Amino acid sequence: MTDTTLTPPAIGTTTRAPRIGESAPRPDGIPKVQGRFAYSSDLWAEGMLWGHTLRAPHAAARITSLDIGPALRIPGVQAVLTADDVPGRRTYGLEIHDQPVFASDVIRYQGEPVACVAADHPETARRAAEAIVVAYEPLTPLTDAEAAIEAPAIHPDGNVVRHLVIRHGDPTVTGDVVVEGTYEVGMQDQAPLGTEAGMAVPTEDGGVELYIATQWLHVDQAQVAASLDLPPDKVRLQLAGVGGAFGAREDVSLQIHLALLALHTGRPVKMVYDRAESFFGHVHRHPATMWYRHHATADGTLVNVEARLVFDGGAYASSSPAVIGNAACFAVGPYFTPNALIDGWAMRTNNPPCGAMRGFGAVQTCFAHEAQMDKLAAALGMDPVELRLRNALKTGDTLPTGQVITGTAPVAEVIQAVVDVPDAVSPVLEGKPMALPGGAGRTADPEAVRRGSGFAVGFKNIAFSEGFDDFSTARVRLDRGVATVTTACAEVGQGFVTIAQQFTREVLGVDEVVLAPADTTIGSAGSTSASRQTWMSGGAVKAAAEAVRERMLALVAADHGVDPGVLRVEGDRIVSADGTVDLPVTTALGDRVVEETVEYHHAPTYPLDEHGQGDAHLSFAFVAHRAVVDVDPELGLCRLVDLVTSQDVGKVLNPLQLLGQLEGGAAQGVGLALMEEILVTDGTVRNASFTDYLIPTALDLPDLRVGELVEQPEPDAPFGAKGVGEPPTISSTPAVVAAVRAATGLDLPRTPVRPSDIALANRSAPSSPEAP
């Protein structure tokens, strides 16, 4: 930690609860370390049943017959439900309702739900699901996203989920130097440690209560209500403890099934996916194939960028329209170009459905544009960092969508902050065997190891875009010195609960801030995604707290016969400018209670027109990484030995929590660079387990070194703070792969890099014992 500017304050030195800018401890930390924190998989209810889902084994098939009789006859089985048991809308979806609650005539992806069961023991439920007799007529799956453009439709909505074109300036302009390449990103999985789980309890009024780990209570509520044919006020959702999300919980998984089972049996029903089922039960990151052509002048100024992006959205739409929208909007990267032509396709295939994953489209295009920038630098004979600095975006620049950046855009500062962190890696020859590539396998000889360094920069939007009415709701209540904050914001581990307390303390001057459970009795908080909650739900909390403060000051002003305008909250006291009023906030109101609810919207954004032009985004966050990787080229094994970052954060709200986001996001980016991929062949998943879907262990990552963070307050953001969750996943992957390219001299146009990509390419090259 010694190299980072984020040294947290010594523990236990503050005498009052931490405010903005301090490393407030999270309020749920103690129950979590004790194992007492109730995740959705820990729920229990008297008389509860266990649910289980029957899933299709084929990527594409027709269902020719379905017999639930054998399952119903198993002792302990209380319900077996299929598509015919859905009383309301039979399809659901985040943006487009194209996905069946249960498949009834056709299967479009491996693992598509066909039926579900409720029984008295999870083992009974599992056996009952297996006892259901389904006859399938397998079809040839459509698995090539490019071919899907022209192929016969596999869904009534067609195969093109979204096609957009961004045409900016004059895309026929050519440059003195032109570099071209085609890049691929494999299918990453969010792999949150907590699998899908929830409990549904039928209520006496014919409705249902759903305790669920999710990213967005209200959008789940709407889909459940629609399929159950119930009014939303009879479908009450409460957030249960969430074991991570990263996009996997934005779409409905078991919510509708659970609610149906509860209503059908009249009993509480709990469902927990095991890890294998979890891989089938949520959407993944879109695999992508991206062709690019960059044009620059001889001195390295970008003049035109052309790209064709084909994203494989799998069987159902999920959030593919927004993902390809993002990918296209950020396809050029954080660089200015006067001209661009971006052609973006989100396609439907019989591959596993894809949707939201941290980084949301920008991850894929960053991999491509950063590879291109390195290629361009090489062609120009220019330093790759210098090339990026030369073209870096800044406030006032126009993006390829025609939107002028009005907020902060400290790209050059972020790049410089990384550059300014000195190299600090010990030479390879000093490495202990466990620290060399191959780690515990003891395969590397130090002389065989080659070291390379890579640099990448990225960006994306904060909050929802393209005209989406993005808002959040918060209630703050001040009662005898204790503030209670209520939002429906889904805490998934990112630490919103801590920020909510810090914001409230800052505004109201009280130490004690209690968070009420998140549920649908209050208005929507929007999704925990798009790095938006600090701004949106934080903004709602701040606005509600400010409204409470205003009323509080008015009451206190009346108590003292002064104008409210002379009063302010300072620290933990209410004071007047002339010092005649000075009392603690905690007792100022006596037993008068003040409560305010605010629905907080951000400034409007606008759709993209037919040329991809429009002010589609609220704000942007920028990030850079520098990676050093040791490679054993003969075996193709890689070891990340150093990772440096800086990020455009607006304002550091909680140094320790921020560091956790930078480290965790970078780890996911490293995973996508070196080891994470859902392997799909003919629509069939080959590695639905942690044995073969590999996420980084503690031995796969070094300490993240954080350079000076760039704090340029974002004008409209609460406390000037930008969301920080996604950027760490964006430039980390390309930085690591660039380092591997430098170490090996190989093109490596695909991520994740597989050992054989390196080992077999190098096979014919003689080993030359150069010092690393």
Partner 1 sequence: MTAPETYDLTVNGTSHHVPGAWIGESLLYVLRERLGLPGAKNACEQGECGSCSVLVDGRLVCSCLVLAASAVGSEITTVESLATDGALSDVQQAFVDAGAVQCGFCTPGLVMAVEDLLRRDSTPTELEVREAISGNLCRCTGYGRVIDAVRVAVRRRTGAEVA
Partner 2 sequence: MTVLLPDSLDRACAQLADHPEAHVLAGGTDLMVEVNFGHRRPEAILSLSRVPELKGWHRDGDQLVLGAGVTYTELCDPEVAAVAPALAMAARTVGSPQIRNAGTIGGNLGTGSPAGDTLPVLAALDATVELVSVTGRRTLPIGDYCVGPKRTARDASELIASVTVPVARGPQEYLKVGPRNAMVISVAGLAAIADLEARTVAFGLGSVGPVPLRAPEAEAWITERIDWDAARLTHPDDADELGRLVAAAARPIDDHRATADYRRHCVGVLARRAITRMFSA
Q: Which residues bind partner 2 (CB under 8 A)?
A: 123, 126-127, 274, 276, 437-443, 445, 448, 634-637, 639, 674-675, 679, 686-687, 691-692, 694, 696-700, 754-756, 759-760, 763
Strands (E), 648-740: 680-681, 684-685, 704-706
- Nearest residue (CB) to partner 1, 432 versus 763: 432
| CB of 628 vs partner 2, minimal distance in Å | 15
Task: Check binding of 8 to partner 1 (CB under 8 A).
Answer: yes
Applying CB under 8 A, the site for partner 1 has a residue count of 64
CB 272 within 8 A of CB 195: yes
Asked if residue 103 binds partner 1 (CB under 8 A), the reply is no
Contact 26, 37 (CB under 8 A): no
Residue closer to partner 1 by CB (options 24, 405) is: 24
- Beta bridge mates, 456: 625
Phi-psi region of 698 (alpha: psi -120 to 50; beta: other; left: phi over 0): alpha
Q: Would you count residue 606 as binding partner 1 (CB under 8 A)?
A: no
Q: Is 244 in the site for partner 1 (CB under 8 A)?
A: yes
Residue 30 contacts which entry, partner 2, partner 1, none (Cβ below 5-8 A, type-dependent): partner 1
Write down the least CB distance from residue 11 to partner 1, Å.
5
**Can you name the residues that pair with 490 across neighbouring β-strands?**
none
Q: Does 240 bind partner 1 (CB under 8 A)?
A: no
Q: Name the minimum Å distance from CB 310 to partner 2.
A: 24
Residues 38-67 that bind partner 1 (CB under 8 A): 38-39, 41-42
Question: How do 269-272 and 49-55 pair as beta strands?
Answer: parallel
DSSP 669: H
Q: How many CB atoms are located within 10 Å of the residue 82 CB?
A: 20
Structure-token pair, residue 650: 């607006």
CA distance 592 to 553: 12
Please name the helix (run of DSSP H) or strand (run of DSSP E) that holds residue 668, with its range, or none: helix 655-674
From the list partner 2, partner 1, none, pick the one residue 26 interacts with, judged by a Cβ distance below 5 to 8 Å according to partner type: partner 1
Give a three-class secondary structure readout of 326-369.
HHHHCCCCCECCCCEEEEEEEECCCCCCECCCCCCCHHHHHHHH
Cβ(121)–Cβ(51) under 8 Å? no
Query: Which of these segments, 316-324, 489-497, 526-534, 543-551, binds partner 1 (CB under 8 A)?
Result: 489-497
Continuous segment of H or E residues that includes residue 506: helix 496-508
Q: How far is the CB of 68 from partner 1 (least distance, A)?
A: 23
Label residues 258-297 b or e (16+ Cβ within 10 Å = b): bbbbbbbbebbbbbbbeeebbbbbbbbbbbbbbebbbbbe
Sheet of 619-632: strands edge to edge?
450-462, 619-632, 637-647, 704-706
Run of H or E including 372: helix 362-380
426 binding partner 1? (CB under 8 A): no
Give the one entry of partner 2, partner 1, none that residue 637 binds, where binding means its C-beta sits below a cut-off of 5 to 8 angstroms depending on kind: partner 2
Number of neighbours of residue 594 by Cβ within 10 angstroms: 19
Q: Which is nearer to partner 2, 170 or 692 (CB)?
A: 692
Report the nearest approach of partner 1 to the CB of residue 527 (Å): 16
Closest to partner 1 by CB, 547 or 678: 678
- For partner 2, the closer of residues 15 and 691 by Cβ is 691
Q: What are the distances in angstroms from CA 570 to CA 508, 584, 720?
A: 9, 10, 20
Least distance (Å) from partner 1 to the CB of residue 176?
Answer: 42
CB of 81 to partner 2, least distance (A): 21
Question: Segment contacting partner 1 (CB under 8 A): 151-159, 379-387, 441-449, 654-662?
Answer: 654-662
Separation between Cα atoms, residue 643 and residue 617, nearest integer Å = 30
247 counts as binding partner 1 under rule CB under 8 A: no
Dist. CA 107–CA 98, nearest whole Å: 13
Residues pairing with 451 in the sheet: 630
Q: Does 3 participate in binding partner 1 (rule CB under 8 A)? A: no
The minimum distance between CB 698 and partner 1, in angstroms, equals 4
Residues 3, 386, 512, 663: which binds partner 1 (CB under 8 A)? 663
What CA–CA distance (Å, rounded) separates 287 from 319? 14
- Binding piece for partner 1, criterion CB under 8 A, among 153-161, 341-349, 693-701, 745-753: 693-701
Residue 510 near partner 1 by CB under 8 A: no
Which residues neighbour 318 within 8 Å (Cβ) at sequence distance 6 or greater?
A: 93, 94, 95, 99, 251, 283, 353, 354, 355, 356
Question: For residue 654, what are its two tokens?
Answer: 């909680």
Q: Which residue, 343 or 634, is less far from partner 2 as judged by CB?
A: 634
Partner in contact with 71, chosen from partner 1, partner 2, none, beta carbon below 5 to 8 Å by kind:
none
Binding map of partner 1 across residues 181-210, x = CB under 8 A, - = no contact: ---------xxxxxx---------------
Out of partner 2, partner 1, none, which partner does residue 153 contact, by CB within 5 to 8 A per kind?
none
Q: For residue 23, state whether it binds partner 1 (rule: CB under 8 A).
A: yes
Residue 679 site contact among partner 2, partner 1, none (CB < 5 to 8 Å, cut-off depends on kind): partner 2
Contact between 691 and partner 1 by CB under 8 A: the answer reads yes
The residue ranges that bind partner 1 (CB under 8 A) are: 1, 8, 11, 23, 25-26, 28-30, 32-39, 41-42, 121, 123, 190-195, 241-244, 246, 272, 274-275, 432, 434-435, 440, 492-495, 656-657, 659-660, 663-668, 689-691, 695-699, 701, 703-704
